[in-house]
Amino acid sequence: MFAWVWFMANKHWIDELADILEERLRSRGKDVLVFNGGLSVSGLQHVGRLRGEIIIPETLRRILSRRGLKIKQYLTLYTQDAWKGKESQRKAFKDPGEAVKYTGWPLIRVPDPEGCHANWVEHFWGDFGPYIKEFTDGNIEVVTTTDLYAGKLKEFTKKTFGLRDKVREIINKYRGRKKYPETWIPFEPICDGCGRIDKTETTKIIDDERVEYRCRYCGHHGETGIVNGKLNWRIEWVGVWWALGVDFEPYGKDHATPGGSRDSCVDLAINAYGIKPPEGIPYEWVAMRTRDKRIVDMSSSDFTGFTPREWYEVAHPHIYRFLVLKTPPMKKLVVSLYEIPQYYSQYYQAERIYYGVEDPGVEEKRVLLSRSYELSYPDGEPPEKMPEQVPYTHLAVLVQLVPRELWGTEGLRRLRNSGHLPEKPTEYGVKRILETMERASRWVEKYAPDYLKIRLLREPDPRIIGEIPWEHREILYRMGEMLEELEEWSEDSIKNVMIEATKHLSPKERRALYHNFYKLFLGQPSGPRAAPLIALVGRETSVKFLKAVKK
């Protein structure tokens, strides 16, 4: 139809989003724009949290930076929030019963359940925080609400005391019957008596710096500084926008409901504080598929999901970024560590489409996949030449046959022999293969199905041999003899031996024979290619196994 329409229809969702955002951000007239994301460290920091709060804003930031916008990206940790003491959270401690006493404490004050870090937050941040730079370009500044309360939010708290009536009026619009009374002061101190932040009530503002409060939990009355507490949650969110000057911040679907938290906070920002609320987009959560194929939402406080560290161990961050980018933000993304090989092959396909060596047929698909691929690089861009692609499962098997110290030599030689690598492979391609080998090796240990786990039997097993019919034993024994006499010990000559020994068999019989062949060596009816396997096992051992069938 019209070129314009065609053009629009063939944009990646994130580019369309970037277009809209660019216009709105430019109209704000700021030199440096601010992007933010927010996380409460209530427990397991799973990969799902990378999606909406980190990778999506980071990618938008990079796209818009290329268009000349200056953008600063933050990630805000809600460390002052109360520890809820859910059963799943208590179970993180050796003595869950005793851990009840931390209920209601600010997260940052809850001790590390395993005693290896300064507190709960730092403990669970360990598998997440340090990996952000692997999944992004790393230009993200992490701030905590605890630090903000000691700084800019302190100022905001004072401001809020002055705006009390207006703030109450707006919040009460969203509170149906349970309106806050006129005496309400929107500040929740940490109780000096019991340590809780979720049960205190401010009774009096003493001056700009101090308040009086009472605790509904332990009955303690006291006074404390305004650094020692937090604002009511709706106000706090606006406070973060104000303190950092946020211009864009995505929000999870739990905040997206009309009349919900985002709406009420926008109302507060405009009508109480007179600031322009940030632009935003809602996003769906990430779920995971378990070993037995059940789908469960990842949840921090329920400890369901897996961390960026666990992903990084078995797969490149590129792959996760790719999955996030090819999935529209309001669609549920389901990921599984058991399906890593499939993700690699999807990624390789997108890569081939990007480099133009494969035609997806449908234009929309081409745009979605190749752009998602292009943006999948955490830092920088795809290399000029398409890297060599070796299937993940291939490497998973290879690393089990070649000793680790030979991966970079013998392993690569094997790949050249099998045609996966050319004589002069690209630098990035080789680097990626070596990295994938490390990951595939760990994946085999932790997640691979049994049939991909290759383990040579220590000794020929008489019980297995007993199950092999005599005519097969004859052939296997003969193979052993031929291998023993073989002049040159190479994959090719071994392969010739195997062909020679089985050429008189029908395809069906040959299949049956190889089942027994694999059982003899591995205890299971299938395995890696026979000739390379034998080559690797070595002459002495393979002859020993093969001739054992006739003892």
Partner RNA sequence: GGGCCCGUAGCUCAGCUAGGUAGAGCGGCGGGCUUUUAACCCGUAGGUCCCGGGUUCAAAUCCCGGCGGGCCCGCCA
User: Which positions from 496 through 535 interact with RNA, judged by CB under 7 A?
Assistant: 498-499, 502-503, 507, 510-515, 518, 526-530, 532
- Please tell me the distance from the alpha carbon of residue 408 to that of residue 228, in angstroms, as a whole number: 56
Q: Rank residues 2 and 95 by Cβ distance to RNA and give the closer one.
A: 2
Q: How far is CA 56 from the centre of its chain?
A: 13
Q: Rank residues 78 and 125 by Cβ distance to RNA and give the closer one.
A: 78
Size of the site for RNA (CB under 7 A): 71
Q: Which DSSP state fits 112?
A: P
Q: Rank residues 60 and 197 by Cβ distance to RNA and give the closer one.
A: 197
Q: Rank residues 137 and 297 by Cβ distance to RNA and give the closer one.
A: 297
Segment near RNA (CB under 7 A); pick from 22-30, 117-125, 148-156, 257-265: 257-265
Query: How far apart are the two ends of the chain, measured CA to CA in Å?
Result: 78
Q: Is 254 in the site for RNA (CB under 7 A)?
A: yes
Yes or no: say if 11 and 270 are a contact pair by the CB < 8 Å rule: no
Segment near RNA (CB under 7 A); pick from 107-115, 159-167, 201-209, 448-456: 448-456
Binding to RNA in span 72-91, by CB under 7 A: 78, 81
Segment near RNA (CB under 7 A); pick from 208-216, 242-250, 324-332, 379-387: 324-332
Binding to RNA in span 11-70, by CB under 7 A: 40
Q: List the structure tokens of 165.
A: 């009536």
- C-alpha distances in Å from residue 318, one per residue of 17, 279, 357: 21, 27, 20
The residues near 131 (Cβ < 8 Å, ≥ 6 apart) are 307, 308, 309, 312, 317
- Please tell me the distance from the alpha carbon of residue 150 to that of residue 141, in angstroms, as a whole number: 17
Q: Is 175 in the site for RNA (CB under 7 A)?
A: yes
Q: Which of 3, 5, 116, 357 binds RNA (CB under 7 A)?
A: 5
Yes or no: say if 217 and 191 are a contact pair by the CB < 8 Å rule: yes
Q: Among 24, 25, 50, 31, which residue's Cα sits nearest to residue 39?
A: 50
Q: Which of 126, 260, 460, 523 binds RNA (CB under 7 A)?
A: 260
Binding to RNA in span 271-310, by CB under 7 A: 284-285, 297
DSSP notation for 376-402:
T-SSS---SSPPP---HHHHHHHHHHS
Q: Rank residues 329 and 382 by Cβ distance to RNA and give the closer one.
A: 329
Q: Is 267 in the site for RNA (CB under 7 A)?
A: no
Q: Is 332 in the site for RNA (CB under 7 A)?
A: yes
Q: Is 206 in the site for RNA (CB under 7 A)?
A: no
Q: Which of 88, 301, 418, 541 binds RNA (CB under 7 A)?
A: 418
Binding to RNA in span 372-411, by CB under 7 A: 391-394, 397-398
Give the relative orientation of helices 392-401 and 530-537 as an angle to the nearest 10 degrees.
Answer: 30
Residue 287 DSSP SS3: strand
Q: How far is the CB of 512 from RNA (least distance, A)?
A: 6
Q: Rank residues 175 and 455 by Cβ distance to RNA and give the closer one.
A: 175
- Please tell me the distance from the alpha carbon of residue 264 to that of residue 236, in angstroms, as a whole number: 12
Segment near RNA (CB under 7 A); pick from 159-167, 220-228, 308-316, 327-335: 327-335
Q: How far is the CB of 355 from RNA (least distance, A)?
A: 18
- Please tell me the distance from the alpha carbon of residue 75 to that of residue 263, in angstroms, as a whole number: 21
Q: Is 331 in the site for RNA (CB under 7 A)?
A: yes
**Alpha-helix runs per DSSP H in 276-316:** 308-314
